[in-house]
Amino acid sequence: MKKRYLALSACLLLGACTSLPVHTQQSAKPPIDNTSPQKHAADMKPSLKQHPPVRPLKATDVPENPASAAASLSSSRYVINTTNYLIANEEHPEEKVLLLTFDDGPTGEATLSLLDTLDRHHAKSIWFVNGRQLATKNKDGHVEIIPEKAKLLQEIHKRGHLIGNHAWSHENLRKLSPERQQEEVLSTNQVIEQIIGEKPRFFRPPFGAYTDTILQLCQAEGMSSINWSVGSLDWEASVYRKENGIAKQVLSTVHKGGNILFHDRVWTARELDHILTELSAEGYQYVLPTEAK
Contact criterion met (CB below 8 Å) for 97 and 256: yes
| Residue 72 domain flag | no
Residue 292: per-residue pLDDT: 87
Contact criterion met (CB below 8 Å) for 269 and 57: no
Contact criterion met (CB below 8 Å) for 135 and 191: yes
Task: Give the separation between CA 217 and CA 201, rounded to whole angstroms.
Answer: 12
Using DSSP bridges, classify how beta strands 125-129 and 285-286 pair: parallel, antiparallel or unpaired: unpaired
Using DSSP bridges, classify how beta strands 259-263 and 230-231 pair: parallel, antiparallel or unpaired: parallel
List, for residues 40-68, the tens digit of each pLDDT value.
333 333 332 333 333 333 333 433 443 43
| Residue 275 domain flag | yes
In DSSP notation, the chain reads: -HHHHHHHHHHHHHHHS-SS-----TTTSPPPPS-SHHHHHHHTPPPTTTSPPPPPPPGGGS-S-GGGGGGGGTTS-EEE-TTT--EEESS-TTS-EEEEEEEEE--SSSHHHHHHHHHHTT--EEEEE-HHHHEEE-TT--EEE-HHHHHHHHHHHHTT-EEEE--SS---GGGS-HHHHHHHHHHHHHHHHHHHSS--SEE--GGG---HHHHHHHHHHT-EE---SEE--TT-HHHHTSTTHHHHHHHHH--TT-EEEEES-HHHHHHHHHHHHHHHHTT-EE---SEE-
| Residue 55 domain flag | no
Task: Give the separation between CA 260 and CA 253, rounded to whole angstroms.
Answer: 10
Q: 149 is in which domain, residue-wise?
A: 1-6+95-293
Domains contained in the chain, number: 1
Task: Give the separation between CA 54 and CA 56, rounded to whole angstroms.
Answer: 6
| Residue 114 domain flag | yes
Residue 75: per-residue pLDDT: 60
Contact criterion met (CB below 8 Å) for 99 and 80: yes
* Length of the chain measured in residues: 293
| Residue 34 domain flag | no
Give me the CATH number covering residue 238: 3.20.20.370
List, for residues 58-99, the tens digit of each pLDDT value.
333 433 443 433 444 446 799 999 999 999 998 999 999 999
Task: Give the separation between CA 82 and CA 201, rounded to whole angstroms.
Answer: 14
Residue 116: per-residue pLDDT: 98
pLDDT of the chain along its 293 residues, tens only?
444 444 444 444 434 434 444 333 333 333 333 334 444 333 333 332 333 333 333 333 433 443 433 444 446 799 999 999 999 998 999 999 999 999 999 999 999 999 999 999 999 999 999 999 999 998 888 999 999 999 999 999 999 999 999 999 999 999 999 999 999 999 999 999 999 999 999 999 999 999 999 999 999 999 999 999 999 999 999 999 999 999 999 999 999 999 999 999 999 999 999 999 999 999 999 999 988 88
| Residue 41 domain flag | no
